[in-house]
Amino acid sequence: MKRLHGHEDVLFFVASTLLLAIGGGAWLLGAQDPATQCWTVATVLGLGASVAWTVAAVRRHELTVDVIAVLALVGALAVGEAFAGAMITVMLASGRLLEARAEARARRELGLLLERSPRTALRRVASGVVEVPVDEVVRGDRLLVGTGSLVPVDGRLLEDALLDESALTGEPLPVERPAGEDVRSGVVNAGAPVDLVATAVAAESTYAGLVRLVEQAQAQSAPFVRIADRLAVLFVPMTLLLAGGAWALSGDPVRAVAVLVVATPCPLLLAAPIAFISGLSRAARVGVVIKGGGALERLAAGRVMLFDKTGTLTQGRPVLVDVVTAGPEVDPDEMLRLAASLDQVSPHVLASSIVTAASRQGLTLEMPDDVVEEHGYGLSGRVGPHEVRLGKAAWIVPGPTPGWVRQARRRASLDGSLTVFVAVDGRPAGVFLLEDVIRPDAPRMVRGLRNAGIQRVVLVTGDRADVAEMVGRVVGTDAVLADCDPADKLAAIQTESSRAATIMVGDGVNDAPALAAAGVGVALASRGATASSEAADVVLVVDRVDALADAILIAQRSRRIARQAVLVGMGLSLVAMGVAAAGLLPPAAGAVLQEVIDVLAIGLALRAVLPGAEHTVTMAAADVELARRLKVEHDATLGVVEQLRAVADGLSTQDRDLAPVRELMDRLERDLLPHERADEELLVPLVSRALGGDAATVALSRTHAEIEHQASRLRRLLAELDDDAQPEDVIELRRLLYGLYGVLRLHNAQEEEGAFSLLPTVPDLAGSSRGRLPPER
C-alpha cells in the first residue's frame, strides 16, 4: 500500500474523524438524514483513498490488503450501511497516520560525504598560488595543501607530510609520509603546508571512488516489506471466498458486507507499526536511534556482526598507557605533571591525551611561560622553575641511544604505540607511550551480542594484522580481517551476507560503503555526525558500544510483540468473519466490534514500549556517585603502578641500593593498598547490586587478595634485608615487583571492564580528536 505523504495523512485522518463525529452527533439529535450524509461522505472519502492505494499497488505489481477495504466500502454504500463505511474510513485513516511514522525510514544519503568532498584546490602558477575548482585540476599540476586542509586529488608528495588518513583507513593515528610517496584525496594535512603533484583528476581520485561505492551499496539494499503485505497473499483471497460464499448461500448481500467490514485488516495496519514505534522509543531511551520500523526488523534478524576497530572496539583516540623514566631518580608523576602543564597550550594532536592523563591522576598543573614550538621537533617552555621540552627522541636525547630509549622504542613497536620524549632542565627524563586502547565495555558487549542471538562476530579493519588480532582476542571475535580498505570491507560484507543476515558497525567515512551494503548499518555518532551515520540504519548516540546488544534485544522483542498483536487481532477478526457470515453480526455492529479488536491489538503492541530483558545496567544515584569517587581514586593510583615497573627496572645487582624500593613500599601502603581495600569493601558489593549477583565479582575479590598477598611478601622481604643486600636478594625483589606489577595491570583492566564500564557516560574530557598519530612526536 502506498501511503499518503506529509500533511495529507493528517488531513485525511482529521476529515474522516470529524465526519464520523458530526454524523454521530446528528444521529443522537434525531437528524437521521444529515447523519447518513456525513457518514456517506466519509465512506466516499475512504473509498477514494483505498482505490488510489490499490491502483498504485497494482502498478508496482504488488498484492495488497487494500482491496478488502475497497470492497467493504463499496458494499457499505450499496446496502446503505453508511455508519459502517465511515468507521472503516476512520480505521484506515488512523492506520495510515501511524504507518507514516512507523515507516519514516531515514534515507541513506550522500549528504555529508558530498559536503566533505574537496571542491577547490590551490594551484601553484608562475605568479604565485591561485584557487581553482577541483574539477579543473589536471595531472601534473603542482598543488599546495594548507594545514588542516583536505588533499583535493590523488598526488605525489614533494616534501615530508603529516597526514590524518582516518577518513579513508579508519586508523586512529596520523602518519608521516616522506617526499615522493603517493597520497590519496580526502585525507587531511595535519602538519605544515606541503606541496604535491597531481597524479589523477578529481573524478578518478580516491574520495570520488568512495562516494561511488556508497551509491552502489545503497542500490543493492533491499526495501522493507511490511508484515501486512506478507499476510495479504493468504488473507485477501480467503476473505473474498468467505464473503462470496455467505452471499451465495444466504442470498443476502448484507452478510457479505458484514464479512468484509470485520475483515478490514486494521490489526495488520495498526498493531505492527505501533509495536515498531514503541520499540524505536524504547531503543532511544538506551541511546540508540533506529531509523524506522524496517531497520528495527532487520536488526532483530541479524546473525553476523562485523565491526570496524578504530572508534568502535577501541577508544578512537590516543590514551597514555605507560611512562618510561630515564632512571629511578625521575619521579614519573612529576614528569607527567610538567609535560601536561606545558601541553596545555599546545595544538598538537597528542597534547590533550597527556593533559587528560595528568588530570585523571589528580596532578596540579601550572600555566607555562616562554613556550616555543620547534617545527618538526617538538615544544619547549618553562613550567615554574623548570625548563621542559617535549618531542622526538632525536631532539630530546641527542647522541648515542641509551638503553631506556631502545627499550621504549621496542615496546612501542610491539604494542603499536607512539612515543613522546621528555627533557627537564636539559636532561632526558623519560618517554610517554600512547595507544588507541580497547573500550572497557567492548568484551561485555560481544558477550551480550552472543546472548542476543549473534552467531558470528568479525573484526574488519584497515589497521595492521598484529594489532587487529590482539584486539580480536581481547574482545572475543570469531575472525579478524586486517589491512582492509573500503572496497575490502564492502567485499567482506557481501561474503558474510551470502551466509546470514549481517550487521556492520563503524564510525568513519571509510565505513560508509560497508554500512550501506550491510543488512543493517550501525554508526557511532557520540563524538559528532559523520557520513557513516548518514549511511547507517542505526546510530549510537552514547559513547558506549554495549548499548548495541540492548538495541538488538529490543528489536527482537518488538518484532515478537508485533507478530503476537497481529496474530491475535487477525485471529479475532477471523472469528468475527465467521459469525458475520452466519448472519449473526450486522455491518454496523461488525464495524464497532472491529474497532474493539483494533484497540486490543494496539494494547498488545504497546507492550513493546515497556522495559524488557535488556542488558542495560541501572544503578542508583548513590551508587553512581560512589563509583565515580572510587574511579577518581583508581585513576590516582595508576602512577604508583607504573612506578613498580620503573623501580624494578632500576634495581641493579651491582650497587644494590634499596632506598627506591623502600620509598615505593611506603607509597604502596599509603596510597594503593587503602584504595584496594576500599574497592573490596565498597566497589565489589556495588557491582554485585548492579548486576544482580556476585558471579561477576569473584575475580575482582581474588585479585584484591593476591595484591595484598604480594604486597605482604614484599614488606616482609624488605624487613629482613639490610642495606648490604646480596645480588640474589635484589633478584628476588625484582621478581616480586614485576609480579605485583603484572597482577595490578590485570586487576585494573578487570575493574575498568567489569565495574567502571557500568557507569553512565559523562562528557569526554579528552575531546573528540581522532587520527593516526606519528610514531614519535
Residues designated catalytic: 308
Helices 442-451 & 727-754 angle (0-180, nearest 10): 50
Q: Where are the alpha helices (DSSP H) in 286-350?
A: 293-301, 332-343
CB atoms within 10 A of CB 104: 12
Strands (E), 496-652: 502-506, 520-524, 538-540
The CA–CA distances, whole Å, from 675 to 644, 667, 714 equal 16, 12, 18
CB atoms within 10 A of CB 57: 19
263: cell is 475483515
Assign residue 512 a region: left if phi > 0, alpha if psi is -120 to 50, beta otherwise? alpha
Do the Cβ atoms of 45 and 85 come closer than 8 Å?
Answer: no
Assign residue 311 a region: left if phi > 0, alpha if psi is -120 to 50, beta otherwise? left
281: cell is 522509543
The CA–CA distances, whole Å, from 627 to 623, 636, 639, 751, 760 equal 6, 14, 20, 11, 10
Do the Cβ atoms of 312 and 464 come closer than 8 Å?
Answer: no
Q: How far apart are CA 473 and CA 492, in angstroms?
A: 20
Listed residue (744, 717, 711) closest to 733, CA to CA = 717
Q: How far apart are CA 658 and CA 183, in angstroms?
A: 54
Listed residue (518, 505, 517) closest to 218, CA to CA = 517
Q: How far apart are CA 593 and CA 69, in angstroms?
A: 16
Query: What is the SS3 assignment for 433?
Result: strand
> What's the chain's length in residues?
777
Strands (E), 300-398: 304-307, 319-325, 369-374, 378-383, 386-391
Query: What is the SS3 assignment for 304?
Result: strand
Do the Cβ atoms of 134 and 186 come closer than 8 Å?
Answer: no
